[in-house]
Amino acid sequence: MDITSAAIATIISATTASLISVLLANKNAKRDLDGQLDSIIKIAIQYPHLESKEYTEAWSSKTEPKDDNFLRYDLYCTMVFNYLSRLCSFYKFNTTKIEDQLDIKSWVRHHAKYWRDPTTAYENVDTYHPKFVEMVAAYLKGN
């Protein structure tokens, strides 16, 4: 079978186009993650109690759910852990790359009471990727 220069050019062109497509998709995914982080930070600026150590350490899922601060914190933590899960997945759970991008340990530990005491029993361990759940557990153990 003879491979013509046109066939070689087609193969090179298709390979290059595929590579560029993958690189652009990766760049767009990273940009989306950055946008999500910016949104979370804006919420925390608007409602500082969400990142207040005093508030986060007093968290209990038994608090009156009609309290706006309770509901806001519950949703905020869902956003935070969803974001962290996506970030970890993006970096294929490579802790070095993740920790180079974000101080994930501190953030997970800051919201530890919420993770351990979600408003719905087992919500966190049942809804996230097992590798993410393992990472969070390791951070909360002090690893």
**In terms of pLDDT, which residue wins out, 108 or 26?**
108
SS3 string, 13-40, reads HHHHHHHHHHHHHHHHHHHHHHHHHHHH
Q: Which of residues 6 and 60 earns the better pLDDT score?
A: 60
CA 17: distance to chain centroid? 29
Where b means 16+ CB within 10 Å and e means fewer, 2-31 reads: eeeeeeeeeeeeeeeeeeeeeeeeeeeeee
Tens digit of each residue's pLDDT (9 = 90 or more) over 13-58: 667 766 676 666 677 789 999 999 999 999 999 999 999 999 999 9
Task: At 36, list the tokens.
Answer: 């999500």
* Confidence class for position 6, pLDDT limits 50, 70, 90: low
Taking residue 83's Cβ as centre, other Cβ atoms within 10 Å add up to: 17
Three-state SS at 68: helix
Measured between alpha carbons, how far is residue 13 from residues 61, 92, 103 in Å? 56, 29, 40
State the average pLDDT over residues 80-100. 96
**What is the structure's pLDDT at 84?**
98
Considering only 2-11, 47-56, 99-108, which range has the smallest mean pLDDT? 2-11
